[in-house]
Amino acid sequence: MRALILAALAALTLSPQALAGDLSVVVRNVHGQPVKDAVVTLRPASGAAAAAPIKFTWPYSVAQQNISFNPFVLIVPVGSNVTFPNKDNVRHHVYSFSPAKKFELKLYGRDESRSVVFDKAGVVALGCNIHDQMIAYVVVVDTPYAAKTGADGIALIRNAPGGSAAMTVWQPYMKTARNQVAKTIAVPAAGGRQEVSVDLRPAPGAMNMIH
């Protein structure tokens, strides 16, 4: 009996890190090639949330450089202040008509910067009123468990609570409803790592979802 009580107390005192696992998500396209800039978000079935405000390690910034936006896809938590520095020798006029955040940053030049607070979760498509080819996306999330795939098609989410979770994969060129797919997965506990493959090959006779 005493051993059972001690075991229960030990379980209660385990840190969130000890109960957390890592999730490695591999995203491939219709040709089996890695897909870059796919955003993976995770929502644990347990409803576990971050004890502190959500904060990611990368800069909350979208630069205008070489007549393009950099990065092409940026993940930020709700409430983030995102900067838009102009590093080009020409002026830019950044805007979005997306429901999650409509805004307009009128013409400004090199070495000038503007900022916008993104206060609602969702995908915000960016454009430039002067250069139509400039396109980018700010993905505003309300979960700390989010990551973006690199050139290798891999997104790594660290220290997610173990157990069942709803996973969503979004990519702007995915030919599905809302440009995303969703599935339920199992996240390992106690420091384990789970690899999940998201193969965007369509069912026979279906339209290709991404190229």
Q: Residues 42, 51, 142, 127: what is their CA dihedral angle, to the nearest 10 degrees?
A: -110
Residue 22 lies in a domain: yes
Beta bridge partners of 123: 139
> Of 110, 126, 141, at which residue does a domain stop?
141
Cα-Cα end-to-end distance for the chain: 60
Q: What is the pLDDT along the chain (211 residues), one digit of tens a residue?
A: 444 333 333 333 344 444 577 889 999 988 889 999 999 999 988 765 555 578 999 999 999 999 999 999 999 999 999 999 999 999 999 999 999 999 999 999 999 999 999 999 999 999 999 999 999 999 999 999 999 999 999 999 988 888 889 999 999 998 888 899 999 988 877 666 778 888 775 444 433 445 4
> Of 94, 119, 141, at which residue does a domain stop?
141
Q: Report the CATH number that the domain containing residue 175 is assigned in CATH.
A: 2.60.40.10
Residues 29 and 11: their CA atoms lie apart, in Å, by 42
Residue 130 lies in a domain: yes
Count of the separate structural domains present in the chain: 2
- The residue segments making up the domain with residue 106 are 63-141
Residue 5 lies in a domain: no
Q: Report the CATH number that the domain containing residue 134 is assigned in CATH.
A: 2.60.40.420
In terms of domains, do 75 and 137 share one? yes
Residue 8 lies in a domain: no
Look up residue 178 and give its DSSP letter.
G
Residue 6 lies in a domain: no
Q: What is the amino acid identity at position 150?
A: G
pLDDT at 160: 87
Three-state DSSP at 15 gives coil
Residues 46, 50, 54, 55, CA torsion sign: negative
> Of 141, 157, 183, at which residue does a domain stop?
141
In terms of domains, do 136 and 151 share one? no
Alpha-helical runs (H) found in the chain: 2-13
In terms of domains, do 69 and 132 share one? yes
pLDDT at 19: 58
